[in-house]
Amino acid sequence: MSKTLRTIATLVAACALFAVPATALAAKGGKGKAKSCAKTPKVGYQVTGTLVSVTADVPATPASEATVTLTVTSANSHARNSGEIADQDAVKKGVQVVGATYTVPAGDAYVLKLDGYEGTDTPSPGDLVKVSGRIARTKKRCAAANTSSADRYAAPDVRRVTISDRDADV
C-alpha cells in the first residue's frame, strides 16, 4: 500500500512541476499582453532625396520656421510604411516613394547641417538631402483588429536634416 501511495505522490509532484512553467509562460509575468503593449517603441526614420527648396529659420523667434522640401530618391521601410510619403505607383506591390515630394514641416526642432559648402555658397536645388529621425510604431499585435500599417505609426520626430553640396563651387 505505501509503495502505491509513494508512486502516486511522485506522479502528482511531477505533474505539478510541469504545469507551473506552462502557466508562467502563458501569463508573461502575470500581466500578459497589457504589459508588453504598454510601451510604444520608436524606430528609425530616414528619407533621402534631392533638394527642391529650403527656408531658413528666423533666429529672433522662439518657434522654428525652417522647412526643407525634397524629391524622394529612397526611404527606409518605416518611412515608406508610415503614410507620410504618398505611394507613387499603386499597381506595384509595397509603397513606391521614389519621385514623391516630401516637406519637413516647420515647427519640428531639428538640427540643419550643411555639408561641403564653402564661403558664401548656399544650398541650391539638386543638392543631396538626408532626413533622419525617430517614429513611434504600435506593434501589430497591440493594434486594434484591421488597423492598417500606416495607422500604426505616429508623426515622425525629425532630429537631423543634412544638406550636402553637389554642384560646382563658383
- The overall average pLDDT reported for the chain is 84
Rounded Cα distance between 111 and 133, Å, is 11
Q: Does residue 23 carry a pLDDT above 70?
A: no
User: Cell digits for 83?
Assistant: 503614410
| CA gap 32, 45 in Å, rounded | 29
What is the distance between the alpha carbons of residues 77 and 155, in angstroms, rounded to a whole number?
A: 15
pLDDT in tens, 61-73: 887 788 999 999 9
Q: Which of 54-68, 111-125, 126-140 has the lowest mean pLDDT?
A: 54-68
What is the per-residue pLDDT for 18?
Answer: 67
What single-letter DSSP state applies at residue 150?
G
Q: Is the pTM of this model over 0.95?
A: no
Residue type, 127: D
Q: How many whole angstroms separate alpha carbon 54 and alpha carbon 66? A: 7
